[in-house]
């Protein structure tokens, strides 16, 4: 179990780097990991997930710039996802869910870092997810697809208000859900978003005007898939 968690943490750490670098066109595959602030290359022990961030007290060893809490959180979250994955029967459906949740995980991170649904991640993984879904013979909600597309073109103010990227995600993931589950998904995501907004408004910085919504869509998706 622990080995799955650690493997997942390593992937989580890698995905964090991808989400941080891809939107600003920095290489993430063949360059060594470095501090985002002072660009000092990380030592090998600093690549150990969770432990190294805590040991460094959430600060770079060289420039003392703070390391975002998201990095630690993403390692723990993907580690937990991997533990779930290996506790399930290894069927194509489980792989499909892992792919779906990995896409949700990556796009949540780009939204948290840049308020952006990174188009390269969105389009490529949507295509793979849809293709894999067709291959597995999973139901495709064509009625919802047409309805969401019609809404997209007839009510541009609605889609602008929600955010283009968020709306495209509604289409990409929504068509893979039965209509009732789609409604539940919207409900859970909005509820979580509203809850976070209220907590932030009551207890923290009141000036927040924009909330990254993809993490809530992702959490809502997890809850919906759990109950499906």
- Which residues contact Zn ion by CB under 5 A? 35, 37-38, 60, 62-63, 65
Least distance from C-beta 63 to Zn ion, angstroms? 3
Q: Which is nearer to Zn ion, 36 or 126 (CB)?
A: 36
Q: Which is nearer to Zn ion, 60 or 217 (CB)?
A: 60
Least distance from C-beta 39 to Zn ion, angstroms? 7
CB 54 within 8 A of CB 67: no
Place of tokens 């063949």: 30
Least distance from C-beta 46 to Zn ion, angstroms? 11
Q: Which is nearer to Zn ion, 35 or 112 (CB)?
A: 35
The closest of 156, 176, 172 to 119, measured between CA atoms, is: 172
Least distance from C-beta 68 to Zn ion, angstroms? 13
**What is residue 45's three-state secondary structure?**
helix
Rounded-to-integer distance, Cα 184 and Cα 195, Å: 16
Q: Which is nearer to Zn ion, 38 or 136 (CB)?
A: 38
Rg of the chain over all Cα atoms, to the nearest angstrom = 19
Task: Tell me how many degrees the CA angle 37-40-42 measures, rounded to the nearest 5.
Answer: 110
């Amino acid at each position: 179990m622990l080995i799955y968690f650690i493997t997942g943490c390593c992937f989580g750490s890698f995905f964090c780097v991808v989400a941080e670098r891809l939107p600003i066109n920095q290489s993430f595959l063949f360059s060594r990991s470095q501090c985002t602030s002072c660009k000092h290359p990380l030592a090998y022990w600093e690549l150990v997930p969770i432990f190294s961030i805590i040991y460094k007290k959430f600060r770079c060893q060289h420039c003392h710039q703070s390391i975002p809490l998201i990095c630690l959180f993403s390692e723990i979250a993907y580690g937990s996802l991997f533990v779930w994955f290996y506790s399930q029967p290894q069927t194509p459906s489980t792989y499909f869910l892992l792919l779906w949740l990995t896409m949700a995980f990556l796009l949540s991170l780009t939204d948290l870092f840049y308020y952006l649904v990174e188009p390269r991640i969105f389009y490529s993984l949507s295509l793979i997810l849809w293709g894999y879904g067709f291959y597995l013979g999973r139901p495709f909600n064509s009625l919802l697809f047409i309805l969401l597309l019609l809404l997209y073109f007839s009510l541009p103010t609605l889609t602008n208000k929600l955010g283009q990227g968020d709306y495209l995600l509604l289409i990409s993931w929504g068509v893979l859900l039965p209509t009732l589950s789609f409604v539940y998904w919207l409900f859970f995501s909005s509820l979580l978003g509203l809850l976070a907004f209220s907590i932030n408004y009551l207890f923290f910085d009141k000036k927040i005007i924009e909330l990254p919504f993809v993490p809530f869509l992702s959490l809502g998706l997890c809850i919906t898939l759990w109950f499906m």
